[in-house]
Structure 1
Amino acid sequence: MTPIPNGLSIGDYQERLSRYKDAENEKNAMISELIENLDEARSEYRQTTLDLESERVGRRRLQDRVAELETLTRSQNGRGFVVVLIDADADDYIFQQRFLNRNEAGGRDAADELQARVKDYLRTIQIDVENTDIVVRAYADVKSLHGACIKNGKMKSGASLSLFVHGFNQRQGLFDFVDVGPGKESADNKLRECLDFFIGNWQCKHIIFGACHDSGYAPYLGRFAAEVSVRDRITLLQGVAVHPRIAALGFRRILKLDQVFNPYMLSTVPVSSSKSSPPARATSSTLPTRPLKAATGFSNAAALSHRLGPVIRNENRKRIDKMLDVDITSPYLGIVRQTKLCPWFYLRGRCEGCDGNHRVPPLNARESDYLWYHARYGLCHKIRKGKDCDDPRCVYGHEEGNRIGSGKVSG
């Protein structure tokens, strides 16, 4: 091979060129690798940036939620309220005559008395009454309730339930006696909606529920009875009696406010499924509204004492009792028992003085039968001694084990 003038041969240049090519290829490969690594780093950077932003947003949301919970905690630990819900259409929750007969002044006094008695109760269940508002919602058809109170002697004819309601509402800022208008379900629906609302409001520390007379509330209240934390926030406000189906739900707290409401029913009895003729109705124009105090004892001229007789005997001449028109499954039997009505006063028309209740208005025929049935739990003392009883006005039982009676007689 002919040497190049500088002393290098063609082969030398070819070898050098090969080395340069290898170096160039290595450089290009390195650049490609760097570009690939840079692209991967940029991708990771973008993902990290997105993750960081997501974490930043999540942290802000968490901070906002913590602030909300702190505000909620402060509100719960601060001033809460207790609500009293009342089915004021029901006989069990009629305000006392001393309030109803005094119009606006009576309404104001009723509101004060209710607030005072509720506060007394709340202290017994360790609620700080000084930092707790008391809210009252009473629902009724005021027009119909006014008529019933006049008819049953719970209000004087010149008194106005509307004025009583005005005084009640104006006395306390959080007390509302609401006129729901006609319709049996109007007050019921209001009470159910209110209970649902206040159960879900944790500023509401406690609920006093005044609609325990009606078995229709039992399935509804049963939803709350199973959960202890909810059940313990509810107190049943007892009127005359808590209906057995509601009592069976297991609510631990029951409150009775005899200082506020009439501790007995108006003169009405639920209609049973029997086909007997409807009972006679007592009216305020024909019957007294309170017992007449005699020189000794009590007299009740309106008692249907003629219904007690005559004495009925079977074919063996053994005395049997007049058959009564009662439904033994009716909750009214429990009401009669709890009100402790005096059978001598309400059935015979005269009591020489006892610890029984003589304050309820006179009973009609159906109501008398319920009381008579209850009185027959006591067997006539003559029958107990093996003797015969010929007193046509004896109110006690003469057929042991049969309080309904088996004797058929008109009246």
Structure 2
Amino acid sequence: MSDQLSSRSDCQVDSAATDLWRRYHELQSVEKQKNALIEELLYRYDSLSEHFKKEVEDHDREREYNRIAQRSLKDMEATILNLKDNMFNDHLLCEGASGGQRAAGTLEEGVYNYVRTQIREIPPNVKVTARVYANAKGLAETCVRAGITTKAADMQDFMVGFTGAKFLMDFVDVGSGKDRADEKIVEHLKLNLYSPHCRHIMLGCSHDNGYARILGEISNYDYLVQKITLLEGVPFGREFASLPFKIQKFDGLFRPQKINNFGLDGLPAPFPPPGLAALTNKPIGNGIRMQSPKVSTASPVIAPSATAGATPGWANVAAKAATLPSPKQNSRDPNNIPRNRKGQRIDPPTKNFDKEEVNRVKRIKMCNVHFLRHECPFGNNCTHVHDYKPNKSELETLKLVARMAPCIHGSGCDDPKCIYGHRCPFPLLGGKKSGKNCIFLEDCKFPLEMHSMDMNVVQYTTIR
């Protein structure tokens, strides 16, 4: 009997021990699973933290660049006035220096009012510059003969008063010689028409029908038409009737009729818009793109007065310019910017969008400006990597990454070295053919006009 009890007790002890071990192993397995879960969560947290850190750095960098861009734009905004011949009213001219001062003040006030009420996209505090070109001696003699002034010195005093009244307004004496003033006006127009530092141009040329041909060339490009307003003194001739430009009058400032004995100078060859062959023969000038932000100005272009007795040369000039030369463009020239029929800039092709590769290259944190433009403005203070040695594939991906940020100057940008996007580089969403039709749809940072762009190159803009 005692042996049976002893045997039963041993069995119970063994069973209890086995059960304890079983339960221990179960707990151990659960503990391992718990530890594995905790480790997985920690790894995921580390990965997300690193990703978040990169996103914050990218955001901070973009915000800083945006601040720089906004400061540049703030400094850039301006309006340019250009007037042709003697547009100012007689009562101002005969007052000499005080008349010139009044003319400058009235002109500036008129431009500010026009910008505030008619051009809402330009801030009302823009800087206004004005340039008047004239043959001072010839203009003075003409005014005396026409009885507008009593002596030639009055005209000289008017010019001095006009120039001295405002820091950004100049009355320029170009001296005698046919076409001198007109050539300066056209070159000034070239310089500012494509410059991002100039927001608007007001051109006073209503009494010279010759400018209709130049403006006709420009009118083929809608984005240029929006940048020009014509100032009316003498009523516009029929040659201007079909032109789409806005027209503005400043009552009391400009004379309503021509001076009877005023001879008209001719104009140089028509000014071709970007991409026309003539632009390659005559570079636009150094002001098209500036490395450092400059004060943008919109200045009226004041056309020169012709010398008394000058014979009209417009017909001869127009005959010479009847046909524009068509030199071949070298598309490989880095200064050539390809454009489509609408004048929109066409970016060179980039690698296909590969999300994994793009994210990998982003994580390297290379400085786009350093590797793609070779001129990072931050130098040693840059928060991005300069000493990495990317391979060819990584550089191509970096170009794509840079193109994923829309250029602040849009598709009209004329910086040959610009690394940012002038059209949406993201893959198309199947089945959507209009509107924002990339994978990001309405959330895409690129504006509507940078989607579904015509990629056929029909012209080049050459920047020198």
TM-score bin, normalised by smaller chain: 0.3 to 0.5
Give me the TM-score of the superposition, normalised by structure 2: 0.41
